[in-house]
Amino acid sequence: MESDVPKPFLKIGGRTILEWTVSRFASIPYVREVIIATGPDSIDHVRSILEPDPVFETKMLHVVEGGADRQESVGKGLAVVGDVDLVAVHDAVRPFVKLQHIDQCCDTALECGGAVLGIPARDTIKECDEDGYVHETPDRSRLWQCQTPQVFPVKVLREAFRIAEETGFKGTDDASLVEHMGGVVRMVQGDASNIKVTYPQDMIFAEILIERQKRE
């Protein structure tokens, strides 16, 4: 990102990316708690940003120390989840997820056991070896680009993490852990506006989306 400021704390439209992201979920009536996994040096900063929001007068906010990677961080967040039916894991730097897509993911997770928001792959994908030689070209019509949220019944995700720990399995996302234990995961189609703010040019697009959002 070419910035000394961690991505979730960069500001767009006068608010941090983290605030925009959390507000999406916190505005939903059936969401009972929000859990943030972050570095030990950022715990107090996250609390200072989010706790003043009136929404947390009625919803629980937990800020926990994350781990060395995504899987460990999600596991630490999962450990403090309360008495709820579903857990939605979401990237802090995806502030433009649409409420209807969150709803669809939750409905799908209740129906079949797991849901991942994503979009069909638009580009041809090549599978290559470590030297860059093309090994295979998968059928693009069957490929999806995964986004978040990824939503699962709490019991399912906890069991997936338990089995992953027992077997030493490392996944690239939460769905891969559920897949590893033989669970069912279904894709829910989102859209391209659910960007993950990663590179400097993403900030330009993010500002455009914020301005459009303000006009709606």
Q: What is the DSSP string of 62-97?
A: EEEE--SSHHHHHHHHHTT--S-SEEEE--TT-TT-
Q: What is the pTM of this model?
A: 0.93
Residue 192 has what pLDDT?
93
What is 7-215's CATH superfamily?
Answer: Spore Coat Polysaccharide Biosynthesis Protein SpsA; Chain A (3.90.550.10)
Q: Mean pLDDT for the chain?
A: 95
H runs (alpha helix) in the chain = 17-26, 43-50, 70-78, 99-112, 154-167, 174-180, 200-215
Residues 136-144, mean pLDDT to the nearest whole number = 94
Residue 131 has what pLDDT?
97
Q: How confident is the model at residue 212 (pLDDT cuts 50, 70, 90)?
A: confident
Domain residue spans of the chain: 7-215
